[in-house]
Structure 1
Amino acid sequence: MVQIDLLVLFTLALGPGIFWVWYFYHRDRYDPEPAYLVLRMFLLGIAVTFPVAFIEGVVGILIASPLVLAVIVAPIVEEYGKYFVVRKGIYRDREFDEPMDGIVYAASAALGFASLENLIYVFSAYTLSPEAAVGTIVVRALFSVPAHALFACIWGYALGRAKFAPPEQRRGIVARGLVVAMVLHALFNFLLITAEVYALAMLVFILVLIPGMWLLANRNIGRALGRER
């Protein structure tokens, strides 16, 4: 059996979230945000994990179906929780002054959330075996951690657009962004669960959903940067 130092395991579990924060932060090439605000949103993303987990736990008592929890409850509660900390924590700050900022701050909050979630999953897997922990790190680093950022890019871009849109349009822009993010999150969870049984679900997950979300995120980033210029 492979032995892994717990500090090394902690670093490996936290690493993907930090890497993707760096990635999205550096996509804002025209007017990068203050690093301390990006860090603040990352920490708020970690903090909101606790009330989100509490709400999901309470709903889980009332709804016994793991599929319903994963495909309906989790996408709604988690995306709204991440949105909430960005909306309340940075939206009215004077540094939030262009559409790309919505993507950067949303991704940072989402990756804070994903990082704590990743630590929980990895150390839970470690109780089974070190190999299980390593496998969890690899799979989540490739899919689950960046997926949280990709979902957030959708409503984050909507939030960035809404701030500079006419007041009567803002609520609709944000609502549409949140709904799209929640639907993609639900589809992500559904395919990931059913992929254990159906090979077709895995093919759709890897060949359609993941590339599609990256294309959508890159399109939003390109449009946001175009608005900056």
Structure 2
Amino acid sequence: MSVLSVLTAAIAPGVALLAYFYLKDRYDTEPIHLVMKLFLFGVLLVFPVMVLQRAFAHGLGDDPLIFSFIISSGLEEFLKWFIVYIVIYQHASFDEPYDGIVYAVAVSLGFATLENVFYAFLNSATITSLLSRALLPVSGHAMFGVMMGYYLGKSKFTPDRKTRYLAFSILFPIFWHGLYDYILLTTKSNWVWFMIPLMVFLWARSIWKVNRANSKSPLRVMQAEDQVKI
């Protein structure tokens, strides 16, 4: 394959998934420049994560449990969460629960996209292998982003439970990402029998969270009131 073909195949899944979740915002789509800003932050995040993971692995060893839940998912999801929280959580554009999903997914898919590009060029990837990565690690990062953003939205718009939902917004992505990695590390020959049910479950839960977050939008109530007045 040509360089352009490989690059396109590596980038396309992340962009397509981001467009999908962006367009699922029913009431007030987010400023595209902010979404792309978060996506770019996710891309740039790959470099410090690579350095930190190398250092953590050197200090903590290669135990699958430690690698999966601390070195891989713990570090990656915490840094993604930190970017979303610092950059966008208090921003005026974050004005409905679903917005948390859009921005967290943007960071997650920025990260996954550059990872995919590195994989494509370092492993002489084929279209088939890139397609399998679109269905697994790239969409996996999107699912973890949905979880993170869903609970960030709930924390912002449920003040009396802010701390609880903030904790959920980081703990759930770390757990599910860690479980995903642990399956791949410990079931090398028959991982597909564990991974397919996991991904089906994560997609089903993510779609439910998307619909749930949209249903809680204050803009939905405002639009309904405007229709009644008309």
Could you tell me the TM-score, scaled by structure 2's length? 0.89
In structure 1, how many angstroms separate the alpha carbons of the residues matched to 2:120 and 2:179? Answer: 23
In structure 1, how many angstroms separate the alpha carbons of the residues matched to 2:167 and 2:69? Answer: 19
Given that residues 155 and 162 in structure 2 are in contact (C-alpha distance below 8 angstroms), is that contact kept between their aligned partners in structure 1? yes
Residue in 2 that maps onto 1:204: 194
- Paired residue for 2:140, among 120, 143, 147? 147
List aligned pairs for 1:162-201, cutoff 5 A: 162-166=155-159, 168-197=160-189, 199=190, 201=191
- Paired residue for 2:81, among 56, 77, 83? 83
Given that residues 163 and 170 in structure 1 are in contact (C-alpha distance below 8 angstroms), is that contact kept between their aligned partners in structure 2? yes
Residue in 1 that maps onto 2:226: none
List aligned pairs for 1:43-62, cutoff 5 A: 43-62=40-59
Aligned residues: 217
In structure 2, how many angstroms separate the alpha carbons of the residues matched to 1:54 and 1:171? Answer: 30
1:176 CA displacement: 1.7
Residue in 2 that maps onto 1:129: none
Residue 224 (structure 1) aligned with residue 213 (structure 2): yes
Given that residues 28 and 225 in structure 1 are in contact (C-alpha distance below 8 angstroms), is that contact kept between their aligned partners in structure 2? yes
1:85 CA displacement: 1.0
Residue 26 (structure 1) aligned with residue 34 (structure 2): no
1:134 CA displacement: 3.2
Given that residues 121 and 136 in structure 1 are in contact (C-alpha distance below 8 angstroms), is that contact kept between their aligned partners in structure 2? no
Residue 65 (structure 1) aligned with residue 62 (structure 2): yes
1:66 CA displacement: 6.0
Superposition CA RMSD, Å: 1.4
In structure 2, how many angstroms separate the alpha carbons of the residues matched to 1:135 and 1:71? Answer: 29
Q: Give a deviation string over 1:1-32, Cα, whole Å, max 9, x none.
A: xxx11111111111111111101001112111
Q: Give a deviation string over 1:172-200, Cα, whole Å, max 9, x none.
A: 21112311111110111112233422x2x
Residue 5 (structure 1) aligned with residue 11 (structure 2): no
Larger displacement relative to structure 2 (96-105 or 176-185): 176-185
List aligned pairs for 1:70-149, cutoff 5 A: 70-126=68-124, 132-149=125-142
Structure 1 residues not aligned, in runs of 5+: 127-131
Amino acid at match of 1:215: A
What's the % identity of the aligned pairs? 35
Q: Give a deviation string over 1:151-179, Cα, whole Å, max 9, x none.
A: 1111111111111122x521221112311
In structure 1, how many angstroms separate the alpha carbons of the residues matched to 2:45 and 2:153? Answer: 21
Structure 2 residues not aligned, in runs of 5+: 221-230
